[in-house]
Structure 1
Amino acid sequence: MSDPFIGLTLLGLLIALLASGVWVALSLSLVGLAGLVLFSNAPSGLIIASTFWGHSHSWALTALPLFILMGEILLRSRMSDDMFTGLVPWLARAPGRLLHVNVFGCAIFAAVSGSSAATAATIGRMSVPELTKRGYPESLILGTLAGSATLGLLIPPSIILIVYGVATEQSIARLFVAGILPGFMLIGLFAGYVAVRAWMNPNLIPPIDETFSFKEKIMASRRLVPVALLIGGVIGAIYGGLASPTDAAALGVVLATILAWASGSFSWALFGAAVMSATRTSCMIALILLGAAFLSVSMGFTGLPRNLAAWISDMNLSVTALLVALTLFFIVLGCFLDGISVIVLTTSIIMPMVTAVGIDPLWFGIYLVIVVEMSQITPPVGFNLFVIQGLTGIDILRIAKAAFPFFLLLLLGVVLITVFPQIVTVLPNMMGN
């Protein structure tokens, strides 16, 4: 039976299952089972049992629920409000003024939550009412929030980088370090866009009445100290080689809990709510990863990834042509699936092609995350768009229109790391193996 027929059959089955509302994890498992039963002679029951058992106690995966719990604790403490208050005095006179609070606030919170949705919800809850009240244009309020919240996927500790590392057997510590410079690059692009818009049309940004002395700025900055300690503790432990990502995640939970209690805004009830929310999210992601692992194994038995990689290799596509095709593919796929599902659905098929043309899997992980970031602000299933719609009640198409310039900036980011791959690789190479 031909590989195209096998591939189209399994793809059609997966689309049908997802369209009918079957859970992503269950859909992946059923497609993997169909591949084993219909297109191989392998013992399906034994493979299911061994794959699920073998992938259900991954030590690297332990970091995932811990970083999620850290973000949930911060979401329920006063530290997120303190972060907003500490940034305002420093950004009040910048071109674009308080719109930069969205950009830098999202960047800071992304570095301690690892979640795009949590970043959009937390910063949006504070900034949207405040910026609207001060007369900032709706399109820039929504656009900066939607675009900057995607940084939660890239800036370490990133949940989606953990998923990619587990799915492709890449070093999570090296992936985290590889995401630092691209994260700063995107922050610069977003802040630069806001500044250019403000310079081109000064009337767009309302005047500000408040003035802050240097002493007041320093006093306000004290509110940023707890978040800085948390970021420094987690990222410093990984980058300095003092702790693995899993150990650093445990350290992050301990530090987040201590700082939340010290802020006087945390309680046992809130801690329980954070644990339950983190448990639900972690179980969902773990089930999806188990289904994806089984699908990956079953695809290996059908021979489809190997033959597909050989087919791509025979086409003699250049690296650039392959990346253009993959970027379009991931953007379209991201219109209908969340970021984690995109990663786990495609890695087993895509990675053989990527390695066949000589692309560094570490670099490809950062490229893939930036492309998935683009899908977070692309309708109809742009997750950040849903979060912001829930916060504001504004029509999702208006939010998508406001976020479109940031979609283009993310696309520019993909071009920049393709032309200058050192943006991704220089820090991991300094770190070593």
Structure 2
Amino acid sequence: NVVGCTIFAAVSGSSAATCATIGKMTLPELTRRGYPEHMVVGTLAGASTLGLLIPPSIIMIVYGVTAEVSISKLFIAGVLPGVLLAALFSGYIMLWALRHPEQVPAADESLTLAQKFSASRSLIPVVLLIAAVLGSIYTGFATATEAAAVGVLGSLILSAIQGSLNWQSFRGALMGATRLYCMIALILAGAAFLTLAMGYIGLPRHLAEWIASLGLNQAQLIAALAVFFIILGCFLDGISMVVLTMGVLMPTVQAAGIDPIWFGIFIVLVVEMAQITPPVGFNLFVLQGMTGRQLPWIAKVALPMFLLMCAAVALIYVFPGIVTWLPQQMSSR
């Protein structure tokens, strides 16, 4: 789940798309192999949020436009925090496996190095596709939006080279994508209605103005904003949170001396938390549609991932270089 979501996040800017795509493959396979359902669903719920953090990311584009920050720098800034979060998720799974060895299915038959290379050769085209999408952005060949078209075209070319592109497979993929995104679109429609209602009464803006008026120092401001966005994320989707609050918050953030690139990654991390917090956790709805499980149960099994995201926020605050180092290297060239 974690490795699959990390790789797919590099070709998808959406956590919901990452959750649905990876879940469609891993949920039946891991269940068939005998892995506990709470670990399968919980790790997928958490790891799929990497679709927002590892570039390209839709919400980074929204934040970059709203805050007038370089989108390419935001993209490169998300790489190390994304790897850090994936490492935290994997570390948690390792510790859980050591504490509950009786729940871990027996290992498959061991493979030689040559067999592993042979089995992983189908991953090489995916890596090339990731390089094509991100490379087109960083070299200036394509904008972030145009890079999506590069990804689609690259997928069709790779499918044709592998001999899997025919009318039946194309139609099946198209219908599968249509069903998947119709489900997501209905969830979005509900979220948009709630966003409209919240925006009409002005609650997000008033709360943001209240926080801005408190005169907090940098650490207190970050802590208050983390709590604010986590609570707001219980009722709004991530893009709506950014659009409704950034205009009010950015002057306060800049006055506190907070790097706007760092703040963008911080916002993405807390929005990731909102993806798995009820009652309007976007990824929770996607998983509910795929598993048939009740929302409270999915939220409960995703709680360890939520706490690890809190730890990631603390780490990037204590060690801001995790976020800023790569953009600084990019600027110095």
Matching residue of 1:405: 304
Q: Deviations over 1:113-164 (max 9, x none)?
A: 1111111111111111111122111111111100000000110011111111
Q: Distance in 2 between matches of 1:253 and 1:350?
A: 36
Matching residue of 1:62: none
Return the offset for 1:251.
2.6
Matched, 1:330 2:229: yes
Matching residue of 2:91: 192
Matching residue of 2:107: 208
Match of 1:155 among 54, 60, 65: 54
Matching residue of 1:427: 326
Return the offset for 1:278.
11
Q: Deviations over 1:227-263 (max 9, x none)?
A: 1001111223334555543453443232122123434
Return the offset for 1:272.
6.1
* TM-score of the pair, normalised by structure 1: 0.67
Matched, 1:381 2:280: yes
Please state whether the residue corresponding to 1:329 is helix, strand or coil: helix
Return the offset for 1:270.
5.6
The change in CA–CA distance for 1:140 and 1:272 in structure 2 (over 3 A counts) is: closer
Unaligned runs of 5+ in 2: none
The change in CA–CA distance for 1:217 and 1:271 in structure 2 (over 3 A counts) is: closer
Q: Distance in 1 between matches of 2:270 and 2:251?
A: 19
Q: Distance in 2 between matches of 1:123 and 1:275?
A: 13
Q: Which has more radius of gyration?
A: 1
The change in CA–CA distance for 1:410 and 1:136 in structure 2 (over 3 A counts) is: same
Return the offset for 1:266.
5.5
Matching residue of 1:165: 64
Unaligned runs of 5+ in 1: 1-101
Matching residue of 1:350: 249
Q: Distance in 1 between matches of 2:81 and 2:327?
A: 12
Matching residue of 1:114: 13
Residue type of the alignment partner of 2:241: V
Q: Deviations over 1:213-239 (max 9, x none)?
A: 222211111110111001111223334
Q: Distance in 2 between matches of 1:354 and 1:344?
A: 16
Matched, 1:140 2:39: yes
Return the offset for 1:308.
4.6
The change in CA–CA distance for 1:273 and 1:348 in structure 2 (over 3 A counts) is: farther
Matched, 1:259 2:158: yes
After superposition, where does 1:267-278 map in structure 2 within 5 Å?
267=167, 269=171
Matching residue of 2:121: 222
Give runs of ≥4 in structure 1 deviating > 4 Å: 240-244, 270-282
Q: Distance in 1 between matches of 2:122 and 2:85?
A: 25
Identity fraction in percent: 53
Q: Deviations over 1:30-61 (max 9, x none)?
A: xxxxxxxxxxxxxxxxxxxxxxxxxxxxxxxx
Residue type of the alignment partner of 2:24: R
Return the offset for 1:274.
8.5
Contact 1:389–1:396 (Cα < 8 Å) also in 2? yes
Q: Distance in 2 between matches of 1:131 and 1:272?
A: 25
Q: Distance in 1 between matches of 2:101 and 2:181?
A: 47
Q: Distance in 2 between matches of 1:265 and 1:404?
A: 40
Q: Distance in 2 between matches of 1:203 and 1:347?
A: 48
* TM-score of the pair, normalised by structure 2: 0.85
The change in CA–CA distance for 1:227 and 1:128 in structure 2 (over 3 A counts) is: same
Contact 1:113–1:152 (Cα < 8 Å) also in 2? yes
Return the offset for 1:271.
7.3
The change in CA–CA distance for 1:271 and 1:195 in structure 2 (over 3 A counts) is: closer
Matched, 1:127 2:29: no
Matching residue of 1:5: none
Aligned-pair Cα RMSD in Å: 2.9
The change in CA–CA distance for 1:108 and 1:218 in structure 2 (over 3 A counts) is: same
Matching residue of 2:294: 395
After superposition, where does 1:229-308 map in structure 2 within 5 Å?
229-240=128-139, 243-263=142-162, 264-265=164-165, 267=167, 269=171, 308=209
Contact 2:20–2:180 (Cα < 8 Å) also in 1? no
Larger mean CA deviation between 330-339 and 238-247 belongs to 238-247
